[in-house]
Amino acid sequence: MVEHIWLIILGLSLLGGILSGVPVMLALSGVPVLVAFLAAGFGAFDLSFLQAYPQRAYGVMQNSLLLAVPLFVLMGVLLERSQVAERTLMQVGRLLGGSPRALALSVLLISTLIAASTGIIGATIVMLGMISLPAMRRVGVPDGTASGLICAAGTLGQIIPPSIVLILLGDQVSNAYLDAQQRAGNFAPDAVTVGDLFAGALLPGLVLVGLYGIYVSIRLARTPALVKDKTPDISIWDLAREVLPPILLILAVLGSILAGVATPTEAAAIGVAGTLLITASRVGSAPDKEALPGAPSQPALDLGHAPGWLRHVTTVTALAGFALVVLRLTGVGRVNLSAADLTMGAGSMLALGLTVVLVLGLIVAVLVLTQAGVFGAALGQAARVSGMIFGIILAASMLSLVFRGFGGDVWVHELLTGLPGDHRTMLLFTLLVIFAMGFVLEFVEIVFIVIPLVGPILLQDVDPVWFAVLVALNLQTSFLTPPFGFALFYYRSTAPADISTGTIYRAVIPFVLIQVVTLGVVFLWPPLATWLPNVLFG
């Protein structure tokens, strides 16, 4: 009973620390330490528990899977700064014409591509608000529908792979599943990988996008266009030049993971390399100022160089990279190392030559982007975002340690096992708790606080991929829920003053309901999340 009182004090103090405006990282680490020392004065906490923290922190830093996080963050920042999303949105908007429904669906389509390539919610929503909102308002899309679509589409990066949320979930669910199976007497369980989660989230993510599209189509079916589209026709070449590079990048990153060619960290490195080439190829070329009706013009990346030679360099480098992937898939070009005898065949020499071309091309891209002032700024922003994520991970590790010191893990086990019904009841209760936590915490804190506590209990009976996909969908919903959804804050910062906060809140409610419906469908039909991983990975 005494431990329960201190757990309540810990929870209330943590909530107060977060709401006080103190950075979440400091609240998550500082409040548990203060409560632990206070409880130790009353003989209710053994401070020797804290001696395990350095080893836990070292374990986090040793985790090679987490190396993918800063790489994916850098990939997203570079794509944002290269204006790839803006240019693609403009070209697709021109292709589909100026009707309200066509333009709204083009925004949803491009948002899905952006989600699969960047996954940075704040940047995506701000970009969509600046570029697509004026265009949709101009052709007659109601403010509510446009606002709700932008907020909802901007959060797709949480569930559409490759996603930072799924990477962090993969790490925690894998550890929790191993713990759960060992408790159940299975000391050799099949490993749960990030590739499993990427494959598991793909179909639910596409179902969510499809339901968004159906709602928008019905909502705008009878909405007349206020203005006639006066933009010039777009050629297939112009469309392919803008749309194909991000699509190929997505296929390279996601496909290399699902095909088993690369680990998530290696795939993230592939993504960064491809993004460097795409971003460098944009230097010196400006997007069309009136490509999308009503869209504001964007500043061009300009080095003062003619873009022709740069496009040739990036194209040759990209082809060298794809050739190396083909050699890897076919098994050609591997160096034969046997008895300290290095044998280099024709395939190995070809692979070496392609590697040299790839490295030189990437060096040129980095130099060009550095001179343009893009690369350094992107590195700085990626370092800040990654530092925040890893700081929260380490802080959550301290919170988890103190929580266990108070016997919180035993209390959670008793609470979940004491619920009526089977494991589905426990899972539903966990999802409700995560949904409530989403009002005040970001997804990183929730993942590293909740999963280590409930995972070892739930994953004795629950499929880990199914569980992870449900959690990811739940976390995405929390970004939209008024009044504290972070997506709403991002959109409010870029929306014009004549769109009221109340309008924004009402606009997202249908999309929140769609997300809840999708969550319910996956909850009631687990094969939607487990079928594709089983097909790909057995």
Predicted local confidence at residue 516, as pLDDT: 92
Compute the distance between CA of residue 107 and CA of residue 88 in angstroms, rounded to an integer: 10
Q: Which two tokens stand for residue 397?
A: 């590790």
Residues lower than pLDDT 70 in the chain:
1-3, 83-87, 89-98, 116-123, 127, 225-235, 238, 284-307, 331, 333-344, 440-442, 483-484
Residue 337's φ and ψ, nearest 5 degrees, are: -110, 110
pLDDT, tens only, 294-318: 444 444 444 334 357 787 888 888 8
Q: Helix H segments across 259-345? A: 264-281, 307-330
Strand partners, 336: 343
Compute the distance between CA of residue 197 and CA of residue 318 in angstroms, rounded to an integer: 28
Predicted local confidence at residue 233, as pLDDT: 61
Q: What is the pTM of this model?
A: 0.77
- Indicate the burial class of 390 (C-beta count within 10 angstroms; 0-12, 13-18, 19 or more): middle
Choose among 393, 392, 462: nearest CA to 429.
Answer: 462
CA distances for 522 relative to 2, 277, 302, 510, 515, angstroms: 40, 38, 47, 19, 11
Compute the distance between CA of residue 185 and CA of residue 482 in angstroms, rounded to an integer: 44
pLDDT, tens only, 213-230: 999 999 988 777 665 545
User: CA angle at residue 416 from 413 to 419, to 5 degrees?
Assistant: 140
Q: What is the largest CA-CA distance in the chain?
A: 76
Instruction: Decide if 335 contacts 342 (C-beta within 8 A).
Output: yes
By three-state DSSP, how is residue 341 classified?
strand
- Indicate the burial class of 196 (C-beta count within 10 angstroms; 0-12, 13-18, 19 or more): buried
Kindly calculate the radius of gyration of the chain based on its CA atoms and give it in whole angstroms. 25
Predicted local confidence at residue 335, as pLDDT: 57
Strand partners, 338: 341
User: CA angle at residue 406 from 403 to 408, to 5 degrees?
Assistant: 55
Predicted local confidence at residue 419, as pLDDT: 79
Instruction: Decide if 157 contacts 121 (C-beta within 8 A).
Output: yes
